[in-house]
Structure 1
């Protein structure tokens, strides 16, 4: 069917020609965003029709603004802003022809601005720091701290500022002092607070309070410290604080009463009273412990009597005279001691014997104190002239009389070691009075030494004897030689000193050749 085919071909060609019509001439572009709907808008509409408006997303698919997205770190909020979603939908459906008429999308309302008064007067803050520790405390209640601390009131104004504390103050003490400024507590509560921290913490709080001139804190700390004991290191810190802040002298009065006597007395006078009390005591164990205590106080390395150059010599010798007089009275009044052949405690009597032991022990202790303080020469002379006791020596029991030689032994050792500087005549008088009793009682001293070093005693007797003249030495050495030949080791061994005397007298005299 050719006719039908050609006709259809012609119709198709006609349709293609009708589609290829030349476009109308291009209109000139205007710089203004305003468009003429009859020209450019129509031509543009004929060329490319406007796209269909986008389908608005559901409210739950729209991204919320940044200010509403993060409610807390790490969590996204599902809450959307309805005003923002509505504005976005209206803008999407707007045509280009209505750009001038389409308002910009409405933004969420800004947060309400702070009041003008708040901007002009920011919140006052006080910064308190520990310089050494690098610790800073910020305090909001500036006015309260200003009322409590004179330093803060002077340094800063009402708008706050910074106050730094120097010194090695503990952080807890610093914080405790600041908390005391901010809290109105009664005295009981404050004492309870300080007691929880202890003495060291209270001293730290006191130091901070003194630095800040926080009077209420100073008074509370002083009341607590006055009522509790301290150790030696805490005492030193308290003394240092009291000396650094003399303006608080009135507040320190009660605390100073524990550190400084109101009416100073000499420690040497008190030591004499202690010595006298010991000599009058009756408990032997307690007396021994107290003697050790006083000896430690009187030692050269002691700090207890550092301010006193020496003891009261006259007072010490008064106690010595009292002991010797009591000793003479015991020897004279005890009729049981008059028998020289009695050697048992039952025959002598335990009561008198114990009292004699006590008096000899006290006398020896006093003598040692005098020797250590280089004041014993007078006692050596006193003992050399004690004729009553020396005359009674041979008439009493050896168990008793050897106690007298115990006193002589202390003097012999001191003379032989150069600690007693008696004159030659006084030394010889002492030997005349007590050398023979020593030769008799040496065996008893060896048997009952009671702390006496017998070898040291022998060396001391020999060296003291060699300080006499050669003629005086000859008399005493001959007496010793005779006693030693009869008693043996019951007599002191003075052979070495005897050899020295013999060499000086007969072998190497001055002017003789070697």
Structure 2
């Protein structure tokens, strides 16, 4: 047979077709849930019993909690080699663990043979279990006898010397409870306990005090009380301390110093102290400080004040004594100035020093009048100001810049009478108009230019309404006097047209209608 030679290309094709295709390359994978020997999908060969024991022992070591350096772990491993020897740190809490949930049904699997473990010396010392009922947490303590010695509540619950379980009622924070128990176990002096509480702060110390009260832990109570007595608190913390001390009155002797910060041993009347404060302000010399202090005392006396006042009524006689003193000083300043006036000089002008004293006393009198009006005790001030003949007679000879200060006091009285805050009889109302209505017509223009906080619109309305409370005959005399002043001074005089119209209708229009 003739032989045929294949081409080199065909021979190469046949050689490639006879090669086996390589299996696809698997990506690398590492499963943390499997044993390293089964990560590639291969079934491991059964290991001998000794090897299986070593593997399970290694897994148990890895499953333990990692302890951070410098901190005692709340859970101790009973199988560790250090469990037999009790170190100094073991005097602290030995176990804090949350109550475990109900166990899930176990999966059916063949029981693994238990590895041979080295014998471990079991604890022979009793254990105290404190269960925080609201939190569902159990605190285990080894030093049972020491806790029984420090806590009267535990001593009553545990009759014998052995350990047991104590239920702690109330919503107690776990860390606060740990702190209180650690204070029982630690051999600390008072200074060390104070430093321990200072690290947690005031709020933490109050919580520890509450736990110490519940456990009847006298040493912890005394340490917390001494720490809280030496540091400042805010108002919410103060309320917590008050509640705790009121609930545990048996510790009154230990909390005497702390109670002295909350309530005076001999309570005094706040009204007497307020009178002293008012008198101090009127005798002060610094204008800015006097203004701030007036604002402070006014806030304390306000009916909507946040301060709790035991007695809200002030001594009326004491306040009026201060008013008489201020008014006497005001008269003395004007009399000293008038003594310096020459015989041919018709207008009295005072210097800078006396002028500042006048401003000061007028501010004090207006402030005192406002306090009396708010307390509905200002009616006698109307008599006091209406009968001040010395200043009213001197008014015409004073310079306008000075005499308008006197009209500020009159303005406040007119506003209070027109708004119904001063309940004076008709004679008192007419006497104040007789003494100070004409000076008010003269000084109104200056009060408009230098109001100093005075509401001029309210002043016009107050004068008109107060005028309408007088008899029609008295109104006629005063309105005619205003009419002449307004026709000559214009807007330099208060605008009482609305009140004038009311008076005219009452006097003539309605009376004529009723007669007809």
Bucket of the pairwise TM-score, normalised by the shorter protein:
0.7 to 0.9
- 1:63 alignment counterpart: 48
Match of residue 157, structure 2, among 145, 155, 159: 155
How many Å separate the matches in 1 of 2:512 and 2:239?
63
- 1:477 alignment counterpart: 479
- 1:305 to 1:374, Cα distance in 2 relative to 1, 3 A: farther
Q: CA shift at 1:161, angstroms? A: 2.2
How many Å separate the matches in 2 of 1:113 and 1:128?
26
Contact 1:145 1:152 in 2 (8 A): yes
Query: Structure 2-normalised TM-score?
Result: 0.76
Contact 1:340 1:397 in 2 (8 A): no
Alignment of 1:110-259 (within 5 A): 123-156=125-158, 157-259=160-262
Q: SS in structure 2 opposite 1:304?
A: coil
- Residues 99-134 of structure 1, C-alpha deviation per residue, up to 9 Å, x if partnerless? xxxxxxxxx9997798xxx7xx95422122333333
How many Å separate the matches in 2 of 1:302 and 1:109?
78
Please tell me whether residue 308 in structure 1 is matched to residue 293 in structure 2: no
Alignment of 1:63-462 (within 5 A): 63-64=48-49, 68-70=53-55, 72-74=57-59, 123-156=125-158, 157-335=160-338, 341=347, 348-462=350-464
- 1:255 to 1:113, Cα distance in 2 relative to 1, 3 A: closer
Q: CA shift at 1:66, angstroms? A: 8.9
Q: CA shift at 1:390, angstroms? A: 0.9
- Note the aligned Cα RMSD (angstroms): 2.4
Contact 2:392 2:435 in 1 (8 A): yes
Contact 1:267 1:305 in 2 (8 A): no
- 1:193 to 1:111, Cα distance in 2 relative to 1, 3 A: closer
Contact 2:442 2:493 in 1 (8 A): yes
- Kindly tell me the number of residue pairs found equivalent between the two proteins: 414
- 1:312 to 1:258, Cα distance in 2 relative to 1, 3 A: same
Q: CA shift at 1:237, angstroms? A: 0.3
Q: CA shift at 1:396, angstroms? A: 1.2
Structure 2: 5+ residue stretches without partners? 1-45, 62-114
Q: CA shift at 1:175, angstroms? A: 1.3
Q: CA shift at 1:186, angstroms? A: 1.4
- 1:337 to 1:182, Cα distance in 2 relative to 1, 3 A: farther
- 2:17 alignment counterpart: none
- 2:21 alignment counterpart: none
Contact 2:270 2:309 in 1 (8 A): no
- 1:340 to 1:176, Cα distance in 2 relative to 1, 3 A: farther
Q: CA shift at 1:172, angstroms? A: 2.3
- 1:394 to 1:167, Cα distance in 2 relative to 1, 3 A: farther
Q: CA shift at 1:63, angstroms? A: 3.1
- 1:280 to 1:168, Cα distance in 2 relative to 1, 3 A: farther
- Residues 447-488 of structure 1, C-alpha deviation per residue, up to 9 Å, x if partnerless? 111100000000000000000000000000000000111111
- 1:478 to 1:134, Cα distance in 2 relative to 1, 3 A: same
Contact 2:414 2:459 in 1 (8 A): yes
- 1:75 to 1:422, Cα distance in 2 relative to 1, 3 A: closer
- Residues 169-199 of structure 1, C-alpha deviation per residue, up to 9 Å, x if partnerless? 3332211111100101111211111111110
Contact 2:275 2:319 in 1 (8 A): yes
Contact 1:458 1:492 in 2 (8 A): yes
Contact 1:127 1:136 in 2 (8 A): yes
Runs of 4+ residues deviating >4 angstroms: 65-71, 108-114, 336-342
Structure 1: 5+ residue stretches without partners? 1-60, 77-107
- 1:401 to 1:173, Cα distance in 2 relative to 1, 3 A: same
Q: SS in structure 2 opposite 1:138?
A: strand
- 1:75 to 1:201, Cα distance in 2 relative to 1, 3 A: closer
- 1:151 to 1:459, Cα distance in 2 relative to 1, 3 A: same
How many Å separate the matches in 2 of 1:451 and 1:224?
49
- 2:28 alignment counterpart: none
- Residues 45-73 of structure 1, C-alpha deviation per residue, up to 9 Å, x if partnerless? xxxxxxxxxxxxxxxx9933699554614
Q: CA shift at 1:74, angstroms? A: 3.5
- 1:112 to 1:417, Cα distance in 2 relative to 1, 3 A: closer
How many Å separate the matches in 2 of 1:68 and 1:230?
60
How many Å separate the matches in 2 of 1:214 and 1:309?
42
Please tell me whether residue 496 in structure 1 is matched to residue 481 in structure 2: no
- 2:22 alignment counterpart: none
Contact 2:362 2:405 in 1 (8 A): yes
- 2:38 alignment counterpart: none
How many Å separate the matches in 2 of 1:73 and 1:112?
17
- 1:354 to 1:110, Cα distance in 2 relative to 1, 3 A: closer
